[in-house]
Amino acid sequence: MVWTVVLIVTVKYVIILLRADNNGEGGTFALMSLGQSVATRSAPLLTVLGVLGASFFYGDAIITPAISVLSAVEGLEVISPHFKKIVLPLTLVIIIGLFSVQSRGTARVAQFFGPITLVWFLVMALGGLYHLVGDFRVLQALNPLYGISFVAQNGMTGLSGMGLVFLCATGAEALYADLGHFGRRPIQLAWFWIVLPSLMLNYFGQGALLLSDPAALKNPFFLMYPSWALPIMVILATMATIIASQAVITGAFSITRQAIQLGLLPRQLIKHTSESVAGQIYLPRVNWILCAGVVIVTLMFQSSSKLAAAYGVSVTAAMVIDSMMAFFVIWRYWKWNIWKTAALIVPLMLIEQVFFFANALKIPDGGWFPLAIAAFIGVLIQSWTRGSRVLTKATRKNEAELGWLVRKLEAKPPHRVPGTAVFLTGDPESAPTALMHNLKHNRVLHERNIILTIKSEDTPRVVRHERIEIERVSDNFIRVIAHYGFMETPSVPKILEYCKRKDLNIEISQSSFFLSRRSLKTTIRSEMPRWQERLFIFLAGTAEDATAYFQIPTDRVVEVGTQVMV
């Protein structure tokens, strides 16, 4: 446990990966984007690794709240065996309550998170220190040879033990994912001065307790404390696990938004719960899908010990993927010698792979569950990205090159109507489908036509002066390209404000926004298998309406329907 925390959490994540920030942001997609920016030949591989890492994260996001809250509430059983009957119902109440308050945002509650967490770690340190001073033999664990010999001499039993030991490193990937929220320096200071010493004292204290009283094995953490302190510890543990679960839930919101911006998932409604903190968002659909998953997992396993079998597989897989992407970043982005990079990353990756195989032994006992979730998410992402490519290809068959269309309209101008028309399109070089249909059926053209494209970049955020590109195609057509990072949510009203600063005045109340609403149909000539074709059409049907997603006033929108065969 000591060397797992030191090597995996401290060395890899706190010291190394926290320095691999993408404009201040961390996490799977940030690491992927850093690697892709310098390793162009390996970009497809890095994309696959990024998708796999995100898929495994969702499995972690479902299991973490369940095992965290269950393990805390199970402290009631230490107070009295009679409380055993209420552990599961109380856990479900806490979980459902936690997801129910997500829509209100975490701004008001978060101000209490820091003090509660600080008290939690200090209490853990004091409990461990109390037992450690009574038996210093446990400090021999600082010698890694004991752990190596234990695994070597006990074969499969030793490997199974490593699977359980790995639980002390879970959550390490959250340190890197939360880089954009807190910054590298605060995370490192908190880790080295508070978290790491508290954890080590607590683990050593539990070890000392077990050396003196092997019967405490049934729950060594809570049995470290006197009986009068148990109710306080159960309350503190529950609050701490709620905070930990909150971090995972907000992480799921963040990674989903990143996936949407990168085109890996269909659009979802994103609500900002804070006017001052851009990262505080709420995704209703993701929230309740996660809630249902956590409740199902809790009812399936019903105890933290059984859930421990399911925990770890997805986390170790995500960590191995992080190491693989980190290799590209350190080698190509930091420009290290390939042998120095290998000397740093390969030993860590080998340790993580041993942990992965150790956790893989638990697949029949529940480890299959996070793998099934990751596989399901992976299929969704692959189907959506493949279907999107097919849809784009099919749509372009009905579109004309914008420059050609402008020349044709200038040669033979249609009837003009006053006002401004804004056409949203994914390809700024092509004439939008809505524009083509408007000309075909209404045979009119507005005095001023804005071709608006919102592009998602591989960086977390785009600096303000690079947000907008404006190009005058002709006297009547203006091309506007708005750039957004994968940690940002596009907003058409804000885009128009940026345009005003660049001397392009577009009054939203006097403009009409033309959007294409595609009705997707199956075809026997599809490039996708029939099941995937139907899945993509279903996913497209669940996508958030563009009007709401881009925050366009509904009374200014004109939708033009088209049928597309995919």
Distance CA 13, CA 345 (A): 12
pLDDT band at 109 (very low <50, low <70, confident <90, very high): low
Exposed, middle or buried: residue 146 (CB in 10 Å: 0-12, 13-18, 19+)?
exposed
Helix axes 43-73, 313-328, angle to 10 degrees: 150
**Angle subtended at Cα 97 by Cα 95 and Cα 101, rounded to the nearest 5 degrees:** 120
Residue spans of alpha helices (H) in 469-522: 492-501
State whether the Cα torsion 542-547-548-550 is positive or negative.
positive
Q: Give strand ranges (E) for 207-366.
A: 271-272, 281-282
pLDDT for 173-232, tens place per residue? 778 877 777 788 989 999 999 999 999 999 999 999 999 999 988 889 999 999 899 899
Neighbours of 218 (CB within 10 A): 10
Least confident of 39-43, 259-263, 402-406: 39-43
Say whether pLDDT at 105 is over 80.
no
What's the mean pLDDT in 447-463? 89
Give the CA dihedral 269, 274, 276, 281, nearest 10 degrees.
-40
**pLDDT at residue 274, as a whole number:** 66
Say whether pLDDT at 527 is over 70.
yes
Terminal CA-to-CA distance of the chain, rounded, Å?
52
Say whether pLDDT at 250 is over 60.
yes
**SS3 sequence of 529-545:** CHHHHHHHHHHHHHCCC
pLDDT for 23-47, tens place per residue? 777 888 888 888 888 877 888 888 8
Say whether pLDDT at 168 is over 90.
no
Q: Are 168 and 204 in contact (CB under 8 A)?
A: no
